[in-house]
Amino acid sequence: MRRIRGRSSEQEGYRTMKHWFNELANRVQTDGLRNSYHNHSFEFNTIVDGHDGLSYLIEHSSDNLILAELDVFWLKNGGHDPIEFLKPYAGRVPILHMKDMSDDEEQVYAEVGTGSIDFKSIVRWGKHLVLSGMS
Domains of the chain plus CATH, in order, are 8-131 (3.20.20.150)
Q: How far is CA 23 from CA 18, 91, 113, in A?
A: 9, 20, 38
Check residue 133 and report its DSSP letter: T
Per-residue pLDDT, 1: 35
Per-residue pLDDT, 5: 56
- Give 121's contacts (C-beta < 8 A, 6+ positions apart): 83
Overall size of the chain counted in residues: 135
Greatest Cα pair distance, the chain, in angstroms, is: 46
Q: What is the pLDDT of residues 38-51, one digit of tens each?
A: 999 999 999 999 99
Beta bridge partners of 36: 67
The alpha carbon of 110 is separated from its chain's Cα centroid by a whole number of angstroms, namely 20
- Give 18's contacts (C-beta < 8 A, 6+ positions apart): 56, 57, 64, 66
Instruction: Reduce the DSSP state of residue 135 to 3 states and report it.
Output: coil
Tell me the whole-structure pTM to 2 decimals.
Answer: 0.86
